[in-house]
Structure 1
Amino acid sequence: MSEPRSTARTAGRVVSHLGVMALVSVVLGVVVAGLAIPFAGVAGIGTRNLADTMDQLPAQLETGTLDQRTTILDRNGDVLATVYDQNRVEVPLSQVSRKMVKAMLATEDARFYQHGALDLQGTLRAFITNQAESGTVQGGSSITQQLVKQTLLYQAGDNKKEQAAATADTYARKLQELRYAVALEQNHSKDWILQRYLNTVYFGDGAYGIQSAAKHFFNVNASDLSLLQSATLAGLVRNPSGYDPIDDPQAATNRRNVVLQRMVSVGIIKQRRANKLSKRDLGLDPQRTTNGCTQSTAPFFCQYVINYLKTDPALGDNRKARENLIETGGLTIKTTLAPNYQKAADTAVSSHVYPTDQAIGGLAMVQPGTGEVFAIAQSRPMGTDKAKGQSYINYTVPKRYGNSGGFQPGSTFKAFVLAAAIEKGVPLSKTIYSPPHIDVPQNSFKVCGGKNYQSTADYPVNNSTDPGTSNPNLYQGTQYSVNTFFVQLEQQIGLCKPYKLAKRMGITGLQDTNKWMVPSFTLGVASVSPLEMADAYATFAARGLYCSPRPVTSISDANGNELKTYPAKCRQVMQNSTADAVNDILTGVIAPGGFASAQQLDSPAAGKTGTTQDGKSVWFVGYTPDMAAAAMIAGANQYGTPISLTYQTVGGRTIYSASGSGYAAPIWGDAMKAIMGQLPNDSFVAPNASDVAGVPTTVPDVYGRSLDGARKQLEAAGFTVAYGSYINSTYPEGTVAATSPSVGSTAPSGSTITILQSNGTPPAPSKPDKPKKSGGGDKNKPGKGKNKGRGRG
């Protein structure tokens, strides 16, 4: 807060100064043009009228806050990008080198701490000096007056009319400026005024304020400026473009030397030292502070962060207000971006899809259980040069964050139908006859409310894979991505449950039920982004806990005060057991024999391929217990509209038939393999047979146990129990003699195990085989077993 001055200069006292100056001006027979006050105009009116005029002018200047640049940090605290309207970082006067303060005062207002708003002596001295030098060597206005002018220009912004008013060489403007200066001196301390001045003024080449100027021209903090550097910067304020050290180093050197001489004249340094310093070069070390996301190491993540914050009502009443806060508020934005993961994502995408390819590649990484976005990458660089494949469309995030309409995800949507079926109680062992082609009546599908889907037409479905069986169960139907299996599964459980589950898992583009709650839902006809799919599958990894994707963890204001935090927003959208079962099934896609077996990791992983029937996009969405990622390759024209991948180039080569396993999965595999060493080696939780029907379960050993004890053990393993007949057994009467299926075999959880009870009578000993006669060689040949092996090896 500013410190009020103990002695205030009244308007009348200032007017008396004006009168004296006007009188001197008349006596000298000159008109002091270009100084603090147009004295010729003042001389024509009386002191009382001048005082009355000043009293009618606005008394207070609203200084407000200065624009400052916003800094965006990655999760390690390193700078990801800077965003600003004016490149400024405010610092207190205590963090400005005393050498800088002395150089600025010597140049602009050596008697700043001795006079009030108007320095009569300094004004006249500046006039005489400037006339002798035939140019502006010394300033005529006090620093307080300059601050008023700088503030009015700052407040004018891009308004040309207000800019002209702030710089008009008129009697009224000069009086108003002086009136404001008087008010500043009354309400603020000298130190506050000087600090504000140093933080306000423009030093040229895009640097506003002393801290940004010190960093920009010399790569040092304002507190560390040397005498020579201070003299250079102090000389820029009067004409930043004319004395620009980078564009015209000789002009800047000459101006610096003038400042050194001024420092000699006011007794700050000796002439000998000034002469010595004047021979040195400027010693520049220019540093460019990039503005915006284009030059960031993760430009599209940066863009996503900014657009994400523009939707936050806590940062302003409307999008324009939030944008203004981001660009001018001096915020520090801490993000979730993990540099190593971003590098892995960038490398994986760029090695498979080139910027100038007609197709687009994208990848998003999300942490299960938190929703933190670790990385997003795409093949198109940020920019406007279409010949280089550049674009400002962010294809990896939802439309409101990146302006991409998304792409159809293909069979990756089958996971939503799978989870909804398991949640409804469908056994994992359930089989469905799934021929290569079926025609399904569309009105046989139930929508929300129990009504039938409104269409009498048949829905023709074809398989693009061979599951090796005509009656696959949930494991086989998913591992081989059998279309006719999943459409019929969807038909049996209805469209409402998988549709609502997908929405609860973050698929944002499903608002139109008439458009997307359709029989083809399971084949992925809705448009989505890689970020949405990665986040949705992260829900499976987190055992049914959905967390909204977030790229930001906190925001602090320019003073370091925490403005807002962004904690994880999570909710349970399915039972743990359902997610565990989905994970168990989807591990088969990456396991040997699965479509994406080539992407096996050193740790447990699960996933699903996706290929659209019209060939516009191919996908692979996969995850470990600790990281989920979605990879996509899609065809798109220059406007981002989806087109077929057929005959498009990917990796510089024309493709004729694309698949999720062949094109998208390798991107996912390369990225995940690069970061596996940074992830915990966790395992998925095995599905609990007592909670999920159809889990392949080993029949426990209950032989010899009581019926009640055996029943409890079998039910605990997830089976139901039936009782069969009594049989001869060596086990005591009334205990378990055998089971069907037998102990040690595998049966689906929820299936029935029949207990056979012992009658207490040992079985009769078997008779020894009769010795075989010699001869008849064929009789000695090994017998042909009736039970042929059916194992899959």
Structure 2
Amino acid sequence: MAKRSPRQPSKFRRIIKWVFGIGIALGIAGLVALVIAVYTARASLPSYEELKSSPNGQMIRVHAADGTVIVSLGPSYGEWIEYSKIPAPMRDAMVAIEDRRFRSHWGVDPVALARITKFAIDNRGTDRRLQGASTITQQVARTIFLSNKYDIGRKLREMILALALERKFTKDQILELYLNKVYFGGGAYGIDAASRTFFGHPATNLTLSESAVVAGLVKAPSRYSPTADAQAAIDRASVVLDVMVETGALTRVQADAARPAEVKLAAAPKQNSVRYFTDWALPQLEVLIDETVAPLDVWTTIDLKMQNAATQAIQSNTPAGAQGALVSLDRDGAVRAMVGGRDYVSSIYNRATQATRQPGSAFKLFVYLAALEAGHKVDDRIVDEQVTINGWSPRNNSGRFSGEMTLRSAFAYSINTVAAKLGQEVGFGTVADMARRFGITTPINTQPAMVLGTSNVRLIDMTRAFASVGQKGVAVTPYAITRVTANGAVIYQHEVDTSRVLVAPYVAAQMTDLLQTAVNAGSGRAAQIGRPVAGKTGTTSSNKDGWFLGFSSGLTTGVWMGRDDAKRVGGLQGGTAPARAFAAFMKPATAGRAVEQFDTEVTLPEWQIEPDEEAYGAPDNAIYVDEDGNPVPREEVNPDAVQGREDAPAPGEEETLDDDWLDRMTGRNAPPRDAPPLRQDPSRQPAERVPPRDGPRELPRPLQEARPNE
């Protein structure tokens, strides 16, 4: 048996010694490099007074069109509180929860480093971030000198700066910097700003309970904010108190005596509807400018008088239990008013820009635009008759068909079968393309029922579409920011683009002709404001949504009403509350503007004679469809769907139509087809009132108006 060579152990030992020696040499070299880096960083650190005055975050002042400052956003700073004046519970709470070994380490906590090293090994290959290892000194370094971007290089620089800070400043100075610089949420930097924001008094008066709440905010300011989630703030404060007991800062009796749940919060600053506008406008700064440090002044398009009128119009006209939204655009696309709900304080959800809802008959704008562009004229004749398209058979609200009529009549009374026939003729894809051309950004289905507004849209998109028609076919793009200045220098200036022509001017003029008819003779009568108005109503099945969109004197306004949960709203139709809100806003909004006539005079539909009472505010030809745009048999529709309509039958009574209604909708006793359209005569006296339903009825002479539908 061969003997083991006696040289093998000594060779192995030499290798071990060689590796160990290299390790020591590298360690010494690394230590020397670290010391050099730390003292180099120490030499470049600003003085303590300079660190106290260094800024955090970016201040933004937002101006209305008249220059009024409507909101100031960004960081909020309180008074600088010297270490000796900071309440001891506040100092102890912050050290306990954020860095319990603050008084003993050199800026970097070796225990925490060991913990994150183990964490890194256990979670290698995952996306989990290393958290909880930064000391208070490291957080000061990051807050003042570095960004929040997470990478290994930034972490190393943070450690070197922390070691340098500890070499230059005392622990008390570092803690003073931290408490006066750290972000506590709600735009508040430093404990004084946080105390005033959340409790309404300076930080020098902070109690133990308040200190626990404030200290608990640093880990996740938005999650633990007492104004956003009171219970989360209370629970977090309880954790802080428990940690203070563990570290010896408090006794258990003292901690139990604290009552975070009984802390009184400062009253929230009063918010108003203009915040819907600023919440929508300010995020646009990210793509408009690159400046992220200098204080900004942002000049916007909002007209405060119009905004107040819009708020009042929505609050006064929106049905109980429903929400309302309004957007108003000037002729160049400037947003003059925006209301995203009845009350910003109770709901910051902006229904004018975020909500997507079915537009109902308001979507017929794109159907008729496509038909007019394809060569149709407003006086072209088309037959209202039963039609089936790919298995879909649209019906009118009357349940009957009226025979031959002009496109003007079909649009004024929102005849569904005519819209379906036009959509089939030009192509449903063409209608969808027209909607996208005019600024609809949400998906549009191309099933036949799409002509009745079954695709969800946004109010602001529909409003810009109507505005583009009002501008004779030139694209109107909504904008909110006119210019931005930084330290007095203009860094952004908006330029209006009028180069995009969506349809030929004659197409837009004919569409305006139809829209005038809908307001003067159709379901949009409630939107009249004593000057020329062009617009269209929209109502979806089961009275879930009501719309009115229109323009006058260069101002285009869209109104939507409905419930956030999409349940029915009794009596809600586009020609009722939304049209009234439109008029309530537009009357004062256009009061200072010159009266502008449209290119075409108002020409009433061929059936137009002075109406009886029932002609006002009738619902549109809402089609019952499912979420995919497929028709739903009438008997399967929730019977509540027709309740609340002005013409709804009594409970248990079948929805029937009287002879007068049938006569008018089927065209019996209509004037000769070659008779010229009648024009509106303001001096005309109302037609003879018809008898009630339970007695014999007689038509006014020569013919009573056909009942309009949205």
What's the TM-score once normalised by structure 1's chain length?
0.49
Asked if residue 440 in structure 1 is aligned to residue 388 in structure 2, the reply is yes
Paired residue for 1:175?
A: 167
Task: Work out the CA distance in 1 between the residues paired with 2:394 and 2:402.
Answer: 17
Do 1:509 and 1:528's aligned partners in 2 also have CA atoms closer than 8 Å? yes
Paired residue for 2:485?
A: 556
Report the CA distance shift for 1:382/1:329 in structure 2 as closer, same or farther (over 3 A): farther
Q: 1:394 aligns with which of 337, 350, 355?
A: 350
Paired residue for 1:475?
A: 408
Q: 1:379 aligns with which of 327, 341, 356?
A: 341
Paired residue for 1:87?
A: 76
Task: Work out the CA distance in 2 between the residues paired with 1:484 and 1:493.
Answer: 14
Q: CA deviation at 1:628?
A: 0.8
Task: Work out the CA distance in 1 between the residues paired with 2:187 and 2:576.
Answer: 49
Do 1:496 and 1:517's aligned partners in 2 also have CA atoms closer than 8 Å? yes
Paired residue for 2:327?
A: 364
Deviations 1:148-175 (A, max 9, x none): 9987753478999x99x9999x996443
Deviations 1:230-252 (A, max 9, x none): xxxxxx9xxx722789x99xxxx
Aligned residue for 2:420, secondary structure, equals helix
Q: CA deviation at 1:336?
A: 1.1
1:63-212 correspondence runs (5 A) = 66-84=56-74, 86-87=75-76, 154-155=144-145, 173-177=165-169
Task: Work out the CA distance in 1 between the residues paired with 2:149 and 2:573.
Answer: 56
Q: CA deviation at 1:289?
A: 13
Asked if residue 626 in structure 1 is aligned to residue 554 in structure 2, the reply is yes
Over the matched positions of the two proteins, sequence identity in percent amounts to 22
Q: CA deviation at 1:66?
A: 4.0
Asked if residue 682 in structure 1 is aligned to residue 596 in structure 2, the reply is yes
Deviations 1:333-386 (A, max 9, x none): 1111111111111101101226xx432211111112x11111111434234xxx
Q: CA deviation at 1:430?
A: 1.2
Report the CA distance shift for 1:579/1:150 in structure 2 as closer, same or farther (over 3 A): same
Aligned residue for 2:591, secondary structure, equals helix
Q: 1:613 aligns with which of 541, 551, 566?
A: 541
Aligned residue for 2:455, secondary structure, equals coil
Paired residue for 2:277?
A: 301
For residue 535 of structure 2, what is the amino acid of its counterpart?
G
Asked if residue 464 in structure 1 is aligned to residue 392 in structure 2, the reply is no
Paired residue for 2:450?
A: 521
Task: Work out the CA distance in 2 between the residues paired with 1:624 and 1:379.
Answer: 24
Task: Work out the CA distance in 2 between the residues paired with 1:672 and 1:75.
Answer: 18
Report the CA distance shift for 1:544/1:688 in structure 2 as closer, same or farther (over 3 A): farther
For residue 498 of structure 1, what is the amino acid of its counterpart?
V
Do 2:558 and 2:582's aligned partners in 1 also have CA atoms closer than 8 Å? yes
Task: Work out the CA distance in 1 between the residues paired with 2:574 and 2:548.
Answer: 6
Do 2:301 and 2:334's aligned partners in 1 also have CA atoms closer than 8 Å? yes
Q: 1:333 aligns with which of 294, 298, 302?
A: 298
Task: Work out the CA distance in 1 between the residues paired with 2:407 and 2:477.
Answer: 28
Report the CA distance shift for 1:537/1:56 in structure 2 as closer, same or farther (over 3 A): closer
Q: 1:60 aligns with which of 32, 39, 44?
A: 44
Q: 1:532 aligns with which of 445, 448, 461?
A: 461
Task: Work out the CA distance in 1 between the residues paired with 2:163 and 2:141.
Answer: 19
Deviations 1:402-438 (A, max 9, x none): 3x3x100000111111112111211222111103xx2
Report the CA distance shift for 1:206/1:589 in structure 2 as closer, same or farther (over 3 A): closer
Do 2:549 and 2:558's aligned partners in 1 also have CA atoms closer than 8 Å? yes
Q: CA deviation at 1:297?
A: 4.8
Task: Work out the CA distance in 2 between the residues paired with 1:544 and 1:418.
Answer: 14
For residue 429 of structure 1, what is the amino acid of its counterpart?
D
Deviations 1:673-725 (A, max 9, x none): 22221222111112899xxxx9xxxxxxxxxxxxxxxxxxxxxxxxxxxxxxx
Paired residue for 1:600?
A: 528
Paired residue for 1:573?
A: 502
Paired residue for 1:484?
A: 417
Aligned residue for 2:394, secondary structure, equals strand
Aligned residue for 2:280, secondary structure, equals helix
Report the CA distance shift for 1:57/1:625 in structure 2 as closer, same or farther (over 3 A): closer
Report the CA distance shift for 1:603/1:206 in structure 2 as closer, same or farther (over 3 A): closer
Task: Work out the CA distance in 1 between the residues paired with 2:55 and 2:360.
Answer: 52
Greater length-normalized contact order (CA 8 Å, ≥ 6 residues apart): 2
For residue 331 of structure 1, what is the amino acid of its counterpart?
L
Task: Work out the CA distance in 2 between the residues paired with 1:68 and 1:419.
Answer: 47
Q: CA deviation at 1:617?
A: 1.0
Paired residue for 2:378?
A: 428
Deviations 1:128-157 (A, max 9, x none): xxxxxxxxxxxxxxxxxxxx9987753478
Aligned residue for 2:405, secondary structure, equals coil
Aligned residue for 2:204, secondary structure, equals coil
Asked if residue 507 in structure 1 is aligned to residue 440 in structure 2, the reply is yes
Task: Work out the CA distance in 1 between the residues paired with 2:598 and 2:395.
Answer: 33
Aligned residue for 2:387, secondary structure, equals strand
Aligned residue for 1:472, secondary structure, equals strand
Task: Work out the CA distance in 2 between the residues paired with 1:462 and 1:53.
Answer: 81
Do 2:537 and 2:547's aligned partners in 1 also have CA atoms closer than 8 Å? yes
Task: Work out the CA distance in 1 between the residues paired with 2:476 and 2:268.
Answer: 33
For residue 544 of structure 1, what is the amino acid of its counterpart?
G
Do 2:38 and 2:164's aligned partners in 1 also have CA atoms closer than 8 Å? no
Asked if residue 659 in structure 1 is aligned to residue 573 in structure 2, the reply is yes
Paired residue for 1:712?
A: none
For residue 371 of structure 1, what is the amino acid of its counterpart?
G
Report the CA distance shift for 1:56/1:597 in structure 2 as closer, same or farther (over 3 A): closer
Paired residue for 1:20?
A: none
Do 2:42 and 2:167's aligned partners in 1 also have CA atoms closer than 8 Å? no
Do 1:412 and 1:609's aligned partners in 2 also have CA atoms closer than 8 Å? yes
Do 1:149 and 1:167's aligned partners in 2 also have CA atoms closer than 8 Å? no
Task: Work out the CA distance in 2 between the residues paired with 1:415 and 1:54.
Answer: 69
Superposition CA RMSD, Å: 5.3
For residue 686 of structure 1, what is the amino acid of its counterpart?
T
Task: Work out the CA distance in 2 between the residues paired with 1:171 and 1:582.
Answer: 72
Aligned residue for 2:371, secondary structure, equals helix
Task: Work out the CA distance in 2 between the residues paired with 1:176 and 1:376.
Answer: 53
What's the TM-score once normalised by structure 2's chain length?
0.55
Task: Work out the CA distance in 2 between the residues paired with 1:688 and 1:410.
Answer: 24
Deviations 1:491-549 (A, max 9, x none): 22222332212111111113xxxx51221222111111221111110011111111211
For residue 391 of structure 1, what is the amino acid of its counterpart?
S
Q: CA deviation at 1:578?
A: 0.9
Task: Work out the CA distance in 2 between the residues paired with 1:54 and 1:535.
Answer: 59
Q: CA deviation at 1:466?
A: 9.0
Number of residues paired by the alignment? Answer: 463
Task: Work out the CA distance in 1 between the residues paired with 2:554 and 2:375.
Answer: 27
Paired residue for 1:279?
A: none
Deviations 1:52-75 (A, max 9, x none): 898554543488864232111111
Do 2:183 and 2:189's aligned partners in 1 also have CA atoms closer than 8 Å? yes
For residue 175 of structure 1, what is the amino acid of its counterpart?
R
Do 1:610 and 1:660's aligned partners in 2 also have CA atoms closer than 8 Å? yes
Paired residue for 1:774?
A: none
Aligned residue for 2:72, secondary structure, equals strand
Task: Work out the CA distance in 2 between the residues paired with 1:644 and 1:791.
Answer: 38
Can you give the 5+ residue segments of structure 2 that lack an aligned partner in the other structure? Answer: 1-34, 86-137, 211-265, 607-674, 679-700, 706-710
Task: Work out the CA distance in 1 between the residues paired with 2:38 and 2:391.
Answer: 87
